[in-house]
């Protein structure tokens, strides 16, 4: 199913509301995996859009598998994000207000891949070397919440 793609065929680039599900993935060194987007060249949280009848967790697991090539498990809710920074105009001029459900895990297996067309690269970063000036702005808050050690469930970073 590709709900957003089909919806775009009907309404073009106009504003739609959606839900994005992403996963903050930590390695054994406590570093965070970031994904470099092919459309903007900016770093982001691996994840993507919730499809109809999926759970948040199912969407996050599916998107990570598609984009990163690994299987994640034991997801914990990290934060819920809404607000002005969730209004996104993509390079192709699609406009989305994307509410975000962000999970965190350090449990994964498989080999990280950059073969998905949406991805240029994947790298692990320490808290002190997050590329703050190169973050895809909708993902900046959860990434910086992680970097600042906000591990309790947050709503809009609070």
pTM for the model = 0.91
Question: Does residue 98 have a pLDDT over 70?
Answer: yes
The pLDDT tens digits of the residues spanning 13-70 come to 999 999 999 999 999 999 999 999 999 999 999 999 999 999 999 999 999 999 999 9
Judging by beta carbons within 10 Å of its beta carbon (0-12, 13-18, 19+), is residue 133 exposed, middle or buried?
Answer: exposed
Give me the sign of the Cα torsion angle 22, 105, 130, 155: positive
Q: Tell me, what CATH number does 63's domain have?
A: 3.90.79.10
The domain tally of the chain equals 1
pLDDT value at residue 64 = 98
pLDDT band, residue 110 (cuts 50/70/90): very high
Residue 119's pLDDT is 94
Domain with 79 in it: 3-155
Rounded to whole angstroms, how far apart are CA atoms 16 and 104? 27
Give the mean model confidence (pLDDT) for residues 68-79. Answer: 96
Q: Return mean pLDDT, the chain.
A: 93
Residue 79 token pair: 């934060």
Per-residue confidence band for 155, with pLDDT thresholds at 50, 70 and 90: low
Taking 80 as the threshold, does the pLDDT of residue 158 lie above it? no
Please write the tens of the pLDDT for every residue from 85-95: 999 998 899 99
């Amino acid at each position: 199913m590709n709900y957003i793609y089909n919806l775009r065929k009907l309404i073009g680039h106009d504003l739609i509301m959606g839900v994005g599900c992403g996963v903050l993935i930590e390695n054994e060194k406590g570093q965070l995996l970031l994904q470099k987007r092919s459309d903007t060249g900016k770093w982001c949280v691996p994840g993507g859009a919730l499809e109809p009848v999926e759970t948040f967790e199912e969407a996050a697991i599916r998107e990570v598998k598609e984009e990163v090539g690994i299987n994640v498990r034991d997801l914990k809710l990290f934060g819920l994000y809404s607000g002005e920074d969730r209004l996104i105009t993509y390079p192709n001029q699609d406009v989305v207000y994307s509410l975000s459900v962000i999970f965190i895990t350090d449990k994964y297996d498989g080999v990280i891949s950059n073969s998905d067309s949406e991805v240029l690269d994947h790298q692990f970063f320490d808290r002190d070397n997050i590329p703050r000036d190169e973050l895809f702005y909708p993902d900046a808050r959860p990434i910086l919440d992680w970097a600042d050690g906000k591990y309790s469930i947050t709503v809009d970073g609070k």
